[in-house]
Amino acid sequence: MNQDLLRKIPKTDVLLARPGLAQVKSVSASGLKREVQEYLQQLRSSILAGEVSQVPDMEQIEQEILNRLQETDPFHLKRVINATGVVLHTNLGRAPLGAEAAKHIAEVAQSYCNLEYKLEAGKRGSRYAHVENLLCKLTGAEAAMVVNNNAAAVFLMLNTLAKGKKVAISRGELVEIGGSFRVPEIMEQSGAQLVEVGTTNKTHPEDYAEAVEEKEASVLLKVHTSNFNIVGFTESVSVRQMSEIAKDTGAMVLYDVGSCFLFPREYMGLHDGEMVSQALRDGADVVCLSGDKLMGSAQGGILVGKKELIERMKKNHLTRMLRIDKLSLAALEIALRHCLDPKEAVREIPTLRMLSMSRETCQDRAEKLAQGLKKAAPSLRIETVLTEDEVGGGSLPGVMLPGCAVAVSSLEGSTEGIEPFLRLRKIPIISRVWKDQVLLSPRTLCDGDEEELVAAFTELEQQISEERKKR
């Protein structure tokens, strides 16, 4: 009896050739085969255990496998759609990369590469060689290097150049920058001795001069207060002023700018945001910044400045622990190449393109998206509203980007169920809820996201009509 049933089980290849399964795109061909084999194996076991007295027909088996594919999510870390209008969304992976960068990374990943190999000499080379000249060209620095992230860059900079030394820093810059990166703790762990100057809201040039002259500070550190603004009765000292004090006394000026542009912010139509080359011209000895904030590239900590100081950092044994990986390096090189031509950079680097998107463009895209979504989900109230989008990522605090979003609510004017429905899909859509509306900002959408939004609203409409039938 069992044998008869077992004989009725279809072959894997026959199933794979069926139209429904042949069209599956959500898993690879080998993944699909595994899924089919697993299903058939379980069916076999159930038959042998006497739990099954009939083999389902071919259509049924195909449908059951398709259903299982729907339920199994192949990856935990996966693509999501950022419809929040927050460009550098830290929880959503900060900067998305462009198609060209992704292609280049894939190419480097799929084969060996000259990561630490000098092709001309046929000898061991340096992993910094791939980006150092580009960084120098773009920032005017004498030398450059890159580590795993900017937190690592700050630590390496302090540990190499300020260990055992007194480091003057404004009380207004003793900040915490998300995810347990606290400047006072980092300084202590790096071996630098903290000399606090000024007050939380006001620090004057004389405060640094006093720290150097009376407290023997030999390093002046500036840290960009990335995630907040002190407004009102405030005063801080610029890198230029700090370097003037340093020049007279032989002290060193280090600047953790966090996020920075490589070319003038005007190309993005912004009125705020610093440029690395300016910080160096103003007299900073070393500047460090993140690769995946305003540069819009991969995670990385970029260090630029005086050759002698950068060389000392390269020799620090810590660099072995803090080093950047080859895929990030590949992404970084391509971003830097784009930046040689600012117009190309704004076109090719998604973060820069999103930052530079005008309200008119946002409005056009929101109108178009709203039309598509209305068609897909006529049971919802869908309109457009003007918004203030954000740079995010602790980059330009207080800078708002005039934008426009699609606002969605039920016909009764509630958001109930809409936000979680979008968030819990296979390709999750992350939105903002604001005043009983779910907001979807076109600014932060990537290629292909709009189609996915329409698909989601089609599913949502289906769910709404099914629920209506039940009532």
Ligand X SMILES: *Cc1c(COP(=O)(O)O)cnc(C)c1O
**Number of neighbours of residue 375 by Cβ within 10 angstroms:** 13
Output 339 or 440, the one with its CB closest to ligand X.
339
CB of 363 vs ligand X, minimal distance in Å: 31
Return the range that interacts with ligand X (CB under 6 A); candidates 9-17, 144-152, 235-243, 269-277: 144-152
The reply to whether 177 sits near ligand X by the rule CB under 6 A is: yes
The reply to whether 226 sits near ligand X by the rule CB under 6 A is: yes
CB of 293 vs ligand X, minimal distance in Å: 6
CB of 88 vs ligand X, minimal distance in Å: 9
Query: How many angstroms separate the Cα of 338 from the Cα of each of 44, 331, 376?
Result: 57, 11, 38
Residue sitting closest to ligand X (CB):
258
The reply to whether 89 sits near ligand X by the rule CB under 6 A is: no
Phi, psi of 68 (to 5 degrees): -65, -35
The reply to whether 203 sits near ligand X by the rule CB under 6 A is: no
According to CB under 6 A, which one of 43, 154, 322, 334 is a site residue for ligand X? 154
Q: Burial letters for 166-204: b for 16+ Cβ neighbours within 10 Å, e otherwise? A: bbbbbebbbbebeeebebeebbeebebbbbbbbeeebbb
Output 222 or 365, the one with its CB closest to ligand X.
222
Output 323 or 359, the one with its CB closest to ligand X.
323
Q: What span, in angstroms and rounded, lies between the C-alpha atoms of 262 and 30? A: 44
According to CB under 6 A, which one of 85, 96, 198, 258 is a site residue for ligand X? 258
Please give the single-letter amino acid code of residue 117.
Y
The reply to whether 151 sits near ligand X by the rule CB under 6 A is: yes
The reply to whether 224 sits near ligand X by the rule CB under 6 A is: yes
CB of 86 vs ligand X, minimal distance in Å: 15
The reply to whether 256 sits near ligand X by the rule CB under 6 A is: yes
The reply to whether 357 sits near ligand X by the rule CB under 6 A is: no
Q: CB–CB of 325/127 below 8 Å?
A: no
For strand 301-305 and strand 143-147, is the pairing parallel, antiparallel, or unpaired? antiparallel
The reply to whether 392 sits near ligand X by the rule CB under 6 A is: no
According to CB under 6 A, which one of 39, 181, 267, 421 is a site residue for ligand X? 181
Q: What span, in angstroms and rounded, lies between the C-alpha atoms of 246 and 189? A: 24
The reply to whether 444 sits near ligand X by the rule CB under 6 A is: no
CB of 131 vs ligand X, minimal distance in Å: 16
CB of 42 vs ligand X, minimal distance in Å: 45
The reply to whether 259 sits near ligand X by the rule CB under 6 A is: yes
Output 297 or 387, the one with its CB closest to ligand X.
297
Return the range that interacts with ligand X (CB under 6 A); candidates 95-103, 150-158, 211-219, 406-414: 150-158
CB of 107 vs ligand X, minimal distance in Å: 25
According to CB under 6 A, which one of 85, 172, 394, 403 is a site residue for ligand X? 394
**# binding residues, ligand X (CB under 6 A):** 15
Q: Which positions touch ligand X (CB under 6 A)?
A: 149-151, 154, 177, 181, 223-224, 226, 256, 258-259, 290, 301, 394
